[in-house]
Amino acid sequence: MKLSIIIPTLNEESFLEKNLSSIKKELSAISNQQSAEIIVADGGSRDRTVEIAKRFADRVCISDKGRGHQMNAGAMISTGEWLLFLHADSVIFDSGMRRMLEIMDSELRTSNSEPRIAGGAFRLKIDSPTPMYRCWGKIAFKIISSAANMRSRILGIAYGDQGIFVRRDIFYTIGGYSDIPIMEDVDFVKRLKGKGKFIILNECVATSSRRWDREGVLYTMIRNWILISLYLIGVSSNRLKGWYREHGG
């Protein structure tokens, strides 16, 4: 079983080196290096992102800007039976990587024609090293993470910062990521669920708090809940993108 880890980037020099190093260290500790590959799909970075990616990743590709475009481009040059799409500012802990690989290997060994598990994601943990959040911020981010995880359990929907993994054959069966400006991750998971079970692992992905740091904790939380609610009741991605830009996105 081979895993392809696909990371879309755009001006991510401040996070990429640390996170790629962490991923490579975890992989080397729990699996044969030949059983995994790291692919960075860049959308035209103007900083040192591509330079860093070439040092740490197995493959680097350049595509049109936009997470959907970039993740599809990364998938096209991948060779794994399973694909993991991971944001550049997110890290999977050792226990999560192990659990995911166990499920992937088991699924490939036991499924004959129709897969039992089409894909999945992790629970969310928001990581903030910012000094201003050392006290009350830890509590706030724990509440936000818990609310996001509850939403995932109830709705069976995950965001991209939760680390979405999928069987390669199913990825292509459903046409990969849609060319839409926002909510490409939610759209993808909704279509993925039509091909098999979508699971949320108990293990966490730690994602940077930079959005909340930049835009404000309460505002970002409320805006995100409004966006997902509107999208799920049928408001188009293009309309949501316009509203998102008007409100600091």
Sheet harboring 3-9: ordered strands across? 59-62, 36-42, 3-9, 82-85, 164-167, 117-127, 197-208, 90-92
Mode of pairing for the β-strands spanning 197-208 and 90-92: antiparallel
* Structure confidence at residue 243 (pLDDT): 80
* Structure confidence at residue 58 (pLDDT): 96
* Structure confidence at residue 170 (pLDDT): 95
This prediction has a pTM of 0.92
Whose CA is closest to 224, among 164, 163, 152, 169?
152
Measured CA to CA, the distance from residue 54 to residue 239 in angstroms comes to: 37
Mean pLDDT for back-to-back runs of 10 residues, the chain (249 residues): 96 95 87 79 98 97 96 98 96 91 84 77 85 64 88 90 96 96 95 94 93 84 88 91 71
Instruction: Indicate the burial class of 193 (C-beta count within 10 angstroms; 0-12, 13-18, 19 or more).
Output: middle
Beta partners for 206? 91, 125
Measured CA to CA in angstroms, residue 69 lies from 113, 150, 191, 243 at distances of 30, 29, 17, 22
* Structure confidence at residue 118 (pLDDT): 93
Q: Where are the domains of the chain?
A: 3-125+158-209
* Structure confidence at residue 213 (pLDDT): 82
* Structure confidence at residue 133 (pLDDT): 52
* Structure confidence at residue 82 (pLDDT): 96
* Structure confidence at residue 216 (pLDDT): 83
Which tokens go with 40? 């960075």
Q: Domain 3-125+158-209's class?
A: alpha beta
Measured CA to CA in angstroms, residue 229 lies from 12, 39, 156, 199, 205 at distances of 29, 32, 14, 21, 23
Please give the full DSSP string across 193-247, using - where no structure is assigned. Answer: GGGSEEEEEEEEEEEE-HHHHHH-HHHHHHHHHHHHHHHHTT--HHHHHHHHHHT
Sign of torsion, CA 25 3 210 72?
Answer: positive
Measured CA to CA, the distance from residue 199 to residue 117 in angstroms comes to: 7
Contact 54, 92 (CB under 8 A): no
Which tokens go with 66? 């936009």
* Structure confidence at residue 113 (pLDDT): 59
The residue count for the chain: 249
* Structure confidence at residue 41 (pLDDT): 99
